[in-house]
Amino acid sequence: MSDIFTDNQRVEDQAFGRTARQGKRGTGLMILNSMNLIDYNHINTTEVKLQRDIIESNMLNEFQNNELKLIQIKDKLFKQFCTFLNEEIRHDIRYNQGCFQTSLNAVTDVFKTVMPTVYETNIIAAAEEQWAMFLRKLDDDTIPSDHAEEECNKLIDLLRKDYKEEEIIKNSYYYTVIANDIIMNDWSIRNSSKAKRALSHFEKAVQLDEAASGAAHLGIAWCALIIQDENYKKKALESFEKSLKILSNEMAMLNSMQLLLEQKQPTFTDSELYKQLMTKVTILGTYLNSVQGNIGAIKKSLRLIDLIEIKQQSNSNVLEKIEYYYERERNSNKKLEIKMDKQTDYTLIFNDLTWREDSGTIDQALITINNAYYKDKLPSSYHGISITLKQAELDRIKAIFNQNKEYLDLTKESAIDKLKSERTMWNKLRITSSYQVDLKIIHSDNKTEEFKNKQMSELITLIEAKTDDTLRFNIIIKDANVNEVNKHFKNTANDSATLQIDFERLDFESIDEKLSSIKAKSINIEMVLTKSTLLPIIDRNKCINTAKVCVTEQKLYEKVNRNELVKRVTELKNDNSYFYIKFESLQTDQIRNIICDCKEMSFNISFIGIDFYNSINGLNGQANFHFNNLNETTSAIITKDLRKENIEFSFEFQCLIDHQVEYIVIHANLDQEDIQISKVKNLMELYTKGSIPTVELNEFTAKGIEYMIEINEKRFFPWRSVIAVAILGSLQIIAGGVLIATRFGSTVGMGLITEGIADMFTAYRAFSNRQFSWGDYCKQKAVSLVISAVSMGYSKLKDAEKGVKTLVGSAGTEALEQAGTQFATNTKTIGQTVAQTGKNLKNLAFKYTGVKGSETVVREGLNSGVEYLSKFSFDLIKPKISESVQSKIRVIFSKSDLTYLLRKMDVLDLQTKSKILQCKVDQIVADTINPRHDIARKQWDSIGGPLLKGVLADVKNYGSAISMTIRIIGTLNGLYTLQTLIDNVYIELVKNLSQIDKNTMTITLVLHRNLKIDKEIARNAVNKLKNLEIIDENDNLKLSSYYDVSDECIKLKRKIDEFNRQEKDQNDVAQFMKSFCDQYMQIEYDSFSIISKSVADKITEQLIQIIESQLIQPWSTLAALLLFYLLLFHFAQCWKSLHNKPLDTAYRQHNNL
């Protein structure tokens, strides 16, 4: 039975024909709606069918007479076009692009079909695009069918011409994709040669479409860093900045699209389109972060200089003109390309100066400061140095200034861990006293217990005895953090140094809080206000005598008096025109009067000359922190302590004149090293194997947005240490040669030569790796000398006696015997015999040194070859290792105790639009797998590995018990580390994230921080939520740790509605909690895909390093040694058979093999 009237008889026959089964005729019936039939007012089924058939016949005639003809033309032309593509373009790409590739393709084609390369695919796609546009013109009748063949021939001729001239590509993305493939996949002896080929394609992409060439600009920077020609850093920086600008526009479009859809459709956040847009934003955001990181790395490497020019004006209304020159590079003459005036004051700012250890500290900042004071170029009374910490965490600053160590609001576990970590070994054994500690215990009902001046061990026992998990602990370890900075600023009665702090973009409430809590000598405030707001402020505040205003967008400012200020504001076109203004040297009350009428604005505020120790409560969050008015001594003190804390800073010289600026710039230590590409990462590597968003990634890949690069400045060569170690090695070799030549200790001499040659190669490795530690060297050297002494044996010390016998016995005996009979006739015998003996011994010393040196060179070469093969092998199997690690990480991230923490922190990230979770997880994992925390592995890297390549590689030691013991210990430790690494990461993640959750992410603190409500009000709201069983006793939502918590969240939302009805003044809290529940439900495992992949990658890298250094290297060095001595033995045998004598006395020891 059918209720559809078919379009033609064929379909109708097919439908009713299907009723027949097993050789029997079937029956069929049509039941139709007459309203849907043709001419339904005169219904007649026969007539209706007839009309239908007529319509179909007309359609077929139309198709045959018109459309079929066009299809046949298209088919004919398509064959012609395909012939052109295959026989000309594709054939030329495969067989006329170099002898090697042509031969390879010809051989491969015999056995299987040669797959098209990326270059071939994109060239063909570019031709097909133009073919598609040609077909569109045929369909639109822009090209008549009668002229189709002629136009097709023109198109093919044009494509042929464009291909020969390398202009066939009209889409810039194709050039970018081709260039990416050349850099990543083409084989070349030198990377620079293929980078130059790729660069030509990137440049063509930019020429075709500048606005769509974000990835191409990144590629140009990439090639510049590989080629490293003149000014390559500057070229790379410019290209990275262009890439960032173009891609930021694309990101803005995605964000705008997302925002508009969210506003128009309330349910949009639950749609698949929203997830797709979020995925694109995540991918592009990660790509942009990579570009920004590269820009920062290059700028840091360039040691850029800022200059502020302050010119006093004779005009009574304009007092000063201030011009800023940012990020200037010193030229080849060590000067700034800025014209300076003798009548102008300058402030010179140095950024990103570095420090390093190389047989002592080499600090560019300290060297520059010392050079500035050299020969009184700056007088000893000069106090114009300022050190600036940009966007510093004020908690770290407070820790530097505090002579005590303070840990507040800790859980029981955190408190015990802190106290244990602060104890020394002697404290643990109770041999010495620890620092005195004050402890404050805070109960859930706000009752407190206090303990003063206690020992750490005593407090650990006390805390461990507490059974209440809701307790919070405040710990103050007295005098445990005394440093030069806090000692200096604790006693600054006669010192000119001052402190300044700058807060940016504060709202009215935040400004008011800072004004109440920070004590300062004066305050500066800057803002952007409208004309209608600013004029009443100026009129009402008579204290405003001067102000700094912006003149142009090129960072040119002027300091004007009150009359000029009023005049300029009045001249603004309309009341809504914006005006930048900065008021300086005001007091707290004056600032309050200024901002009271602009509570909706944001402000930048600077507190000058703060009383640090009386302003602690206001120093929270991030800010620019300045040490001002420093002299040479105080600036050195602060610099050294900041270096110890690994805090980055810039420093400036204020109130300089032109020749002082030139002198300081010329003599500043701005040494820099080359930039290296440390890692190239495909966007696909951001995700775990089962969570890859293939569609979105393919879309970006088609645009050339595929690879991210990570760059950094190379380490400086440790020249001092390399030279010192080389000299030590040379001295040992010389001393060993002297001992052998004199026979005062030939065994000791051979040992010294072995040690010296090992040190020479230690110096070479330090030069190659640009890394050296005297501590590691001394430990390794001490163990090496002990091994050498043991291997020689104490009886060898009697060789000194042989020296006397050699000089006196061998020469003297013969000479004196002859002297008894031939003294008168041969007086030269003694001298000749002694000289000949000494000559023979010197030859032996030189031969032994040469032999040992040659052995070491060959061994080092074999070891390098084995290490290269090992690295190559690991590169091949790394994806498999990564997959295995990913699967284990997926299991870890699915465990209930970690799941809850991840979901909660991810929700908070979504609400605050931050990435705290990923930063915290990365930091915890990095700390956990860091070799510095594994004592056994640290000792292996500093002692075990170098020994196996040094003295234990000698023929006497390489198979010894000591050598094999070290190898076995290293291997066993490596196996243990491999087995426990992932479990340790899991344990540390749970432990640290739990502590972070308890210390900073309880619902009370979240409400206080996110809704900006008083902590006591937040605590009261949480207590009421606890009474309704919305929050548990640990101040967390009462949710299970399973993924499917939809039912639980729905129940909680009902309880939250009940809370809202009971507490009508807590609507913000209720809405926040409901939003929290909604977002908690939506989070799935894939939400953590990027985080889990980042964790897996870090663990994979560490696993491979452990396998290479502790499982393979101990035995690969042994294998290389066996191979070397086996080759040497066969060479000696061949020499003996050819010359009928041994190769040399120095090689006889190898016959034991």
- Give tens-digit pLDDT for 512-540: 889 999 999 999 999 998 888 899 999 88
Model confidence at 1124, pLDDT cuts 50, 70, 90, reads low
- pLDDT for residue 793 is more than 70: no
Res 816: pLDDT: 41
Mean pLDDT of 788-808: 51
Coarse DSSP helix, strand, coil percentages of the chain, rounded to the nearest 5 percent: 65, 15, 20
**Of the given ranges (561-570, 911-920, 921-930, 1035-1044), which has the lowest mean pLDDT?**
1035-1044
- Top-confidence residue, 1002 or 612: 612
Model confidence at 291, pLDDT cuts 50, 70, 90, reads very high
What is the Cα 107 distance to its own chain's centre?
44
Pick left, alpha or beta for residue 375 (phi over 0 → left; psi -120 to 50 → alpha; otherwise beta): left
- pLDDT for residue 976 is more than 60: yes
Res 272: pLDDT: 82
Inter-residue contact 767 to 761 (CB < 8 Å): no
Res 852: pLDDT: 67
Q: Which two tokens stand for residue 132?
A: 């598609």
- pLDDT for residue 1116 is more than 60: yes
> Taking the alpha carbons of 1017, 1020, 1024, 1025 in that order, is the dihedral positive or negative?
positive
- CA distance to 807, 814, 840, 995, per residue, from 743 (Å): 9, 18, 11, 67
Mean pLDDT of 720-728: 90
Name residue, tokens 């790409």: 93
**H-run or E-run covering 8:** none
Q: Which of 784, 762, 786, 780 is nearest to 772 (CA)?
A: 762
Res 299: pLDDT: 94
How do strand 556-561 and strand 650-656 relate by DSSP bridges? Answer: unpaired
- What does pLDDT average to over the chain? 81
Please list the residues that pair with 306 across neighbouring strands: 349
Model confidence at 1147, pLDDT cuts 50, 70, 90, reads very low
Inter-residue contact 287 to 526 (CB < 8 Å): no
Please list the residues that pair with 547 across neighbouring strands: 560
Percentage of residues of the chain with pLDDT beyond 90: 29
Quote the longest CA-to-CA distance of the chain: 158
Mean pLDDT of 405-419: 85
Helices (H), 743-809: 746-769, 774-792, 799-804
Inter-residue contact 697 to 396 (CB < 8 Å): no
Model confidence at 835, pLDDT cuts 50, 70, 90, reads low
Res 1009: pLDDT: 74
Indicate the DSSP class of residue 808.
I
**Of the given ranges (125-134, 195-204, 298-307, 937-946), which has the lowest mean pLDDT?**
937-946
The amino acid present at 891, given as its one-letter code, is: V
**Rounded to whole angstroms, how far apart are CA atoms 829 and 500?**
88
**Rounded to whole angstroms, how far apart are CA atoms 336 and 661?**
9
Res 1114: pLDDT: 66
Res 203: pLDDT: 94
**Structural Rg of the chain based on CA atoms:** 40
- pLDDT for residue 152 is more than 60: yes
Please work out, in degrees rounded to the nearest 5, the angle formed at the alpha carbon of residue 39 by the alpha carbons of 38 and 45. 65
Write the DSSP assignment of 71-136 as a string of letters.
HHHHHHHHHHHHHHIIIIIIHHHHHSS-HHHHHHHHHHHHHSPPPPPHHHHHHHHHHHHHHHHHHH
**Rounded to whole angstroms, how far apart are CA atoms 350 and 386?**
10
Question: What dihedral do alpha carbons 337, 343, 344, 346 form, nearest 10°?
Answer: 70
- pLDDT for residue 951 is more than 60: no
Q: How would you write 820-863 as a 3-class SS string?
A: HHHCCCCCCHHHHHHHHHHHHHHHHHHHHHHHHHHHHHHHHHHH
Inter-residue contact 772 to 721 (CB < 8 Å): yes
Inter-residue contact 1001 to 994 (CB < 8 Å): no
Helix axes 1015-1027, 1046-1062, angle to 10 degrees: 120
Res 712: pLDDT: 93
> Taking the alpha carbons of 1038, 1040, 1043, 1044 in that order, is the dihedral positive or negative?
negative
Each residue's pLDDT tens digit, 330-389:
988 899 988 888 889 999 999 999 999 888 889 999 999 999 998 888 998 899 999 999
> Taking the alpha carbons of 145, 151, 152, 153 in that order, is the dihedral positive or negative?
positive
- pLDDT for residue 28 is more than 90: no
Mean pLDDT of 1059-1075: 81
Long-range contacts of 576-580 (CB under 8 A, 24+ apart): 576/530, 576/531, 576/532, 577/530, 577/531, 578/528, 578/529, 578/530, 579/528, 579/529, 579/530, 579/531, 579/534, 579/549, 580/526, 580/527, 580/528, 580/549, 580/550
Mean pLDDT of 1096-1117: 73
Q: Which two tokens stand for residue 544?
A: 């405003």
Res 662: pLDDT: 93
Please work out, in degrees rounded to the nearest 5, the angle formed at the alpha carbon of residue 1114 by the alpha carbons of 1109 and 1116. 100
Res 125: pLDDT: 93
Model confidence at 672, pLDDT cuts 50, 70, 90, reads very high
**Rounded to whole angstroms, how far apart are CA atoms 703 and 216?**
9
- pLDDT for residue 620 is more than 80: yes
Res 795: pLDDT: 42
Domain map (residue ranges) of the chain:
33-170, 192-221+233-262+273-300+672-714, 404-480, 498-625, 718-827, 881-1110
Q: Which two tokens stand for residue 430?
A: 């109770």
Inter-residue contact 379 to 632 (CB < 8 Å): no
410-424, 565-579, 1073-1087: range with highest mean pLDDT: 565-579
What are φ and ψ of residue 4, in 5° steps? -120, 130
Mean pLDDT of 288-309: 94
**Rounded to whole angstroms, how far apart are CA atoms 967 and 962?**
9
Q: Which two tokens stand for residue 295?
A: 């820009």
Each residue's pLDDT tens digit, 428-467:
777 788 889 999 998 877 788 999 998 888 899 899 888 8
**Rounded to whole angstroms, how far apart are CA atoms 573 and 730?**
80
What are φ and ψ of residue 597, in 5° steps? -100, 10
Res 842: pLDDT: 63
- pLDDT for residue 34 is more than 80: no
